[in-house]
Amino acid sequence: MWTVNAKDARIPALGFGTFTLPPDDCHRMVKAALREGYRHVDTAQIYENEEAVGTGIRDSGIGRSDLWVTTKVWVSNFRDGDLQRSVDESLRKLAMDHVDLLLLHWPNPEVDLAETLGALASVKQAGKARHVGISNFTVDLIRRATELSPEPLVTNQVEYHPLLNQDPVLEACRAQGMALTAYSPVAQGKVLGEPVLARIAEAHGKTPAQVALRWLVQQEGVCAIPRSRSEDHAKANLEIFDFELSADDMRAIKGLQRPDGRQIAPEGLAPQWDS
């Protein structure tokens, strides 16, 4: 498994995402994914499946020290005190004494960012998170967060796939020595019917989904966290490290980006996105 270096973190380049997975499916898929070779699992407080993630990890038989586990703090828990208590609850559900990465799930303009980042840093300083970071932050918010955070921020987790241009955010992350973690890496399935991906996939003996994931992790500083309810699909998603896209392939896939490519922008949570 490749890793992405960000500050002092070594993040497995491909992780297993658990967004929208109900507990039974989550337990089954986390267990199966880890047995197939994944070593990076992503969850969040709002997903309501942290307990299932923890059980799936334990039932996989893979040692905790061999894994990278990420969870995310929900926006209602961003005040000092609330954030720390919510992390204790997450750790209780996961049955762990720490996570490898703790993220702020979305920006919350209702709470002073310095207060939230101070609380986030205190969790790391207490040994309950090895690393901290952010999610769904724009270029301006990345700049503000890195200036205000008492601890290094190692990633910004955002929607990223061949239909969505994230060049400004990716450049901002690189400038700060941060990784970019791509969620919804196949645009909720919308990339799979693209003829360009089908052509490149056929040339490499791969699927369009595998090509889309390879396009992401082949970029400097980018991780991806595909989610699946299918054990076969999860296994296939892992099989992207035995081929390489050419420069022409990379450019052709980037050419799929379009103004309406964003899939996830929940009202009341989404910031003013970078254009």
pLDDT by residue for the chain (275 residues), tens digit each?
A: 799 999 999 999 999 999 999 999 999 999 999 999 999 999 999 999 999 999 999 999 999 999 999 999 999 999 999 999 999 999 999 999 999 999 999 999 999 999 999 999 999 999 999 999 999 999 999 999 999 999 999 999 999 999 999 999 999 999 999 999 999 999 999 999 999 999 999 999 999 999 999 999 999 999 999 999 999 999 999 999 999 999 999 999 999 999 999 999 999 999 999 98
The binding site consists of: 105
In 212-266, which ranges are E strands?
Answer: 222-224
Extract the tokens encoding 176. 């700060």
The one catalytic residue in 38, 47, 160, 183 is: 47
183 in catalytic set: no
d(CA 184, CA 241): 19
d(CA 267, CA 174): 28
Residues 6+ apart with CB under 8 A from 102: 70, 71, 72, 73, 87, 120, 123, 124, 128, 129, 131, 132, 133
CB 81 within 8 A of CB 119: yes
The binding site for substrate consists of: 105
Extract the tokens encoding 251. 């450019």
The 10 Å Cβ neighbour count of residue 72 is 24
CB 49 within 8 A of CB 23: yes
**213 CB-side CA count, 13 A:** 26
User: What are the beta bridge partners of residue 129?
Assistant: 99
d(CA 90, CA 17): 17
**What is the per-residue pLDDT for 275?**
82
**What is the per-residue pLDDT for 168?**
98
Q: Residue 223, SS3?
A: strand
**What is the per-residue pLDDT for 173?**
98
Extract the tokens encoding 112. 């002073």
**What is the per-residue pLDDT for 172?**
98
d(CA 44, CA 50): 7
Integer angstrom CA distances of residue 217 from 12, 136, 139, 244: 10, 19, 21, 10
Nearest to 49 by CA among 34, 71, 33: 71
Radius of gyration from C-alpha coordinates of the chain: 18
User: In CATH, what number does 10-188+219-227 get?
Assistant: 3.20.20.100
**What is the per-residue pLDDT for 1?**
76
